[in-house]
A and B are shown apart, each in its own frame.
Chain A
């Protein structure tokens, strides 16, 4: 930890991509350190990004820890700070501090099958895990990715997902049928049931809208996944990132410190205040 946890480092926007357009637009940013290096992170951790004059927002780091030159963030435009990010251009300088929160225990999972289940912008928090596992492909057995969006235009990381095919089993879905769609049609929890992944020596990692997560977990339980085999990430409003400002407090946990990653075995005992 730096001496002053509230003082951000500066980062330059090196790359911007329109991931999803429309009312719930998502843009992907690569942020490079302005002066030399900065912090390392683990899969699942977050960083506090800021546009000076607008404020700070906690965002999942979407790039693998193996990527050293920049950190990737995929940000949906929902409020004051995220909108400010959407107005940025390549070369603009932002504030960044972190990393915050716990991480996925990826080292415990080597030699196992990994089942990823994402919905909407919920692919970003598990993306570092997916890309790290693919980079270390030999360490893991079967890797399966279920991912769905409302429509085909809401599918983020489309090209990257296509590139995974071959080493990873990818199942894309959209909520309602569209012309030319050859993937699954229906909600993500149903898409999972459609393929009934085996709980044998497997870990399931899910992230997406709360309602999706709820039904995904129900379905995983039905498929025989034990609570300890299911991981998810939760989010809450955050201001400090270090368990002091109180915003993300749920039960005795500060999500910014104890979370965002929880196994369902842990999460089911946490008050439902997220």
Chain B
């Protein structure tokens, strides 16, 4: 389904989405973030500081609550996510490509009921990047594109005073038919302009990983390279690069106790990340990834080698957040290029 929507009618579209909780990028504290809409939405954002992964994989997820009266068996109460359907507007194509990657992680080998319950409840309305929203964009070199529709349910393309609106999935069609009257059929001129805008978007220069196809093999051959320690020398071991990554999925599971008599609390999943020093520490004290070099290697190789070996695609989708936000300049493009180049 392909339609034209005048920009000034976007809010009418959103208003017609009854039964949906609509989220769109908004500026808060100088940063773009997805927020429940509160008034007119604007889609002139760069990219959001945090990716939309939180809609299916929130930083905190309660698995179940437990209560145990002394001498009795504990009572467990499963807590499954529920609530209205979500429509998320303004998702950039790179972040869209993060979605099927997360789908794989949470459904390979075993299905994650919590992720899936949230995932099936959210539709992503993407916005093509007519020009790169960040100086560190590199989607093209990791198999993506500023006009990719992968992982999106609807794709919007900015044609000046109107959007070209394309349904990608059935869920996307539902969103459009909910406000069918607002949309017009695209003219031949609209189609032509769409092609031009998309062609220009793809032609826009970006930073690039030089040999992405060679990366898995070259990284594999470079496991013992001294470059890892060198490139990670400035690393401070914080969680920015992974917490802001649209495809990082590592987590921790803990019991949070609310009361002792009777014992009660919740078992909770929280984001975790491979850059924290103790992430891999065994209970014995042995830590297989002790240094920042080993940890940087894990992050980079997971994105560009391990995931590729398992699923035939790079896990990195080229949004550039980890580069822009690193307080000490660790740059995944530079790291991959340097290690790959050095592998000969």
Do A and B touch (CB < 8 Å)?
yes
Which residue on chain A has the smallest CB distance to residue B311? A252
Which residue on chain A has the smallest CB distance to residue B74? A52
Do the beta carbons of B294 and A246 come within 8 Å of each other?
A: no
Do the beta carbons of A239 and B73 come within 8 Å of each other?
A: no
List chain A residues, Cβ under 8 A from B307: 252
Kindly provide the distance from the CB of B342 to the nearest chain A CB, expressed in whole angstroms.
18
Any B CB within 8 A of the CB of A224: no
Determine the distance from Cα of A21 to Cα of B106 in the docked complex, in whole angstroms.
41
List chain A residues, Cβ under 8 A from B252: 239, 245
Do the beta carbons of B109 and A242 come within 8 Å of each other?
A: yes
List chain A residues, Cβ under 8 A from B110: 1, 5, 242-244
Determine the distance from Cα of A235 to Cα of B111 in the docked complex, in whole angstroms.
23
Any B CB within 8 A of the CB of A240: yes
Partner of B283, one of A82, A93, A243, A244: A82
Do the beta carbons of B113 and A5 come within 8 Å of each other?
A: yes
List chain A residues, Cβ under 8 A from B282: 235-237
Do the beta carbons of A246 and B305 come within 8 Å of each other?
A: no
- Mask, A8-48, CB within 8 Å of B = 1, is 10101000000000000000000000100000000000000
Q: Which residues of chain A from 217 to 252 have a CB within 8 Å of any chain B CB?
A: 235-237, 239-240, 242-247, 249-252
List chain B residues, Cβ under 8 A from A53: 66, 68, 255, 257, 263, 265
Q: Which residues of chain B from 149 to 170 have a CB within 8 Å of any chain A CB?
A: none
Which residue on chain B has the smallest CB distance to residue A83? B283
Do the beta carbons of A7 and B78 come within 8 Å of each other?
A: yes
List chain B residues, Cβ under 8 A from A136: none
Q: Which residues of chain A from 122 to 149 have a CB within 8 Å of any chain B CB?
A: none
Task: Count residues of chain A with CB under 8 A from any CB of chain B.
Answer: 44
A239-B251 CB under 8 A given contacts A82-B283, A244-B106: yes
- Mask, A259-274, CB within 8 Å of B = 1, is 0000000000001111
Kindly provide the distance from the CB of B84 to the nearest chain A CB, expressed in whole angstroms.
22
Any A CB within 8 A of the CB of B313: no
Kindly provide the distance from the CB of A51 to the nearest chain B CB, expressed in whole angstroms.
8
List chain A residues, Cβ under 8 A from B109: 242-243, 257
Any A CB within 8 A of the CB of B298: yes
Any A CB within 8 A of the CB of B20: no
Which residue on chain A has the smallest CB distance to residue B256? A53
List chain A residues, Cβ under 8 A from B288: 236, 250, 272-274
Determine the distance from Cα of A192 to Cα of B269 in the docked complex, in whole angstroms.
45
A54-62, A155-163, A168-176: which lies at the B interface? A54-62
List chain B residues, Cβ under 8 A from A250: 288
A251-B253 CB under 8 A given contacts A7-B64, A273-B294: no
Which residue on chain A has the smallest CB distance to residue B251? A245
Do the beta carbons of B114 and A6 come within 8 Å of each other?
A: yes
Any A CB within 8 A of the CB of B267: yes
Most buried by B among A8, A82, A257: A8
List chain A residues, Cβ under 8 A from B309: 251-252
Determine the distance from Cα of A250 to Cα of B302 in the docked complex, in whole angstroms.
9
B41-49, B130-138, B273-281, B328-336: which lies at the A interface? B273-281
Kindly provide the distance from the CB of B67 to the nearest chain A CB, expressed in whole angstroms.
9
A246-B66 CB under 8 A given contacts A251-B306, A252-B306: no
Do the beta carbons of A252 and B251 come within 8 Å of each other?
A: no
Any B CB within 8 A of the CB of A4: yes
Partner of A6, one of B254, B267, B310: B267
Do the beta carbons of A252 and B253 come within 8 Å of each other?
A: no
Any A CB within 8 A of the CB of B12: no
Any B CB within 8 A of the CB of A106: no
List chain B residues, Cβ under 8 A from A78: 283-284
Any A CB within 8 A of the CB of B105: yes
Q: Which residues of chain B from 36 to 91 have a CB within 8 Å of any chain A CB?
A: 63-64, 66, 68, 73-74, 76, 78, 80
List chain A residues, Cβ under 8 A from B338: none
List chain A residues, Cβ under 8 A from B257: 53
Any B CB within 8 A of the CB of A3: yes
Which residue on chain A has the smallest CB distance to residue B252? A239
A52-B263 CB under 8 A given contacts A240-B253, A252-B305, A273-B294: yes
- 10 interchain pairs, CB-CB under 8 A: A6-B64, A10-B73, A10-B74, A52-B265, A55-B255, A78-B283, A242-B110, A245-B251, A249-B302, A252-B310
Given A1-B110, A10-B76, list of 14 further CB < 8 A pairs? Answer: A7-B76, A52-B66, A52-B255, A52-B263, A55-B254, A78-B284, A237-B281, A242-B112, A244-B112, A245-B272, A246-B249, A247-B250, A252-B305, A273-B294
3 A-B pairs with the lowest CB-CB distances in the bound complex, closest first? A246-B250, A79-B283, A242-B110
